[in-house]
Structure 1
Amino acid sequence: MSAARRGLFGLFGGRKSKRMPREGEGAEPGLFAGGRNMALKLPPHQYEETLRFYRDTLGLPVTVMADGVPVVEFGPMRLWLDRSESVSRSELWLEVVAENAADAEEALAAADVVRCDTIEPLPSGFRGFWVMSPANVVHLVAEPGQDSSEED
């Protein structure tokens, strides 16, 4: 198979993949799913250059949302480019979708997952919350269909 057919990650050898088995107790399978939103929190000195990289250098489609935040269409994902005065280096934040935020909250609390709701306010009535992974990656846990900003 050619490198072009294998794709970018196929360039690193003919690795075979298999799903890792679950270990021990945890949330019921299917309670959580990866969301389509990622946020790249950028310090002011990296913001404009990063926007130009995705929009001009890579030529990816960018939509400016109602709150002024540019969103890069990153394949099936949406990469929000958030200018953040409170970070000194870029941080990647991820979305996890849960059909029921209350059930998700209970499962994550039972697993001693660190909540970090004060990291960024969520809109009034938003059904979700913030957590931190063991690697200090911020995750928004939210019920499906809730985008914090509508497009212009």
Structure 2
Amino acid sequence: MKPGKNIAIKVPLHRWEDTVTFYRDQVGLKVARELDESTGFEFGGMTLWIDKVRHQSQTDVWIELFDDNPDAALAALGSPQRDELEPLNGVTGHWTSDPAGTVILLRKETAA
């Protein structure tokens, strides 16, 4: 396993705009991509996504790990499969979490 290219901060609707402004204006990160519900910032070799979550009351951090065999990696971690969290359209992998509850996208890296 190795670190992926994305990290996401899932932010409640009422905190989203201020959080995006903070990372853009106070921290000075360059916007890499803007979507309706998410803003991605250049963050070293990664993209830091600030995602708007309408029905959430607290902030969560979600990370990404790459592995050539996500099924075997999930078994080796002994972590729960949590694929109900978000659709995995076109992704070979699984949602899981660490013992503290941090959500992890464990997936096969695709060619760029």
TM bucket (normalised to shorter chain) is 0.7 to 0.9
| Greater share of residues in strand | 2
Q: Cα offset for 1:129? A: 1.1
Matched residue count: 112
Q: Cα offset for 1:121? A: 1.0
1:113 aligns with 2:79: yes
Change in 2 beyond 3 A, CA 1:78/1:48: same
Unaligned runs of 5+ in 2: none
Unaligned runs of 5+ in 1: 1-31, 148-152
Q: What's the C-alpha RMSD, in Å, of the aligned pairs? A: 2.0
Q: For each residue in 1:77-124, what CA deviation from the matched residue of structure 2 results, as whole angstroms up to 9, or x when unmatched?
A: 2111110023211100000001233xxx1342254311111011121x
Partner of residue 141, structure 1? 106
Pick from 95, 103, 106 the counterpart of residue 130 of structure 1: 95
Give the TM-score normalised by the residue count of structure 2: 0.88
Change in 2 beyond 3 A, CA 1:146/1:120: farther
- What does 1:86-97 align with in structure 2 at a 5 Å threshold? 86-97=55-66
Partner SS state of residue 22, structure 2 = helix
Give the TM-score normalised by the residue count of structure 1: 0.66
Of structures 1 and 2, the one scoring higher in RCO (CA 8 A, sep 6+) is 2
Larger radius of gyration: 1
4+ residue runs over 3 A deviation: 65-68
Distance in 2 separating the partners of 1:59 and 1:98:
32
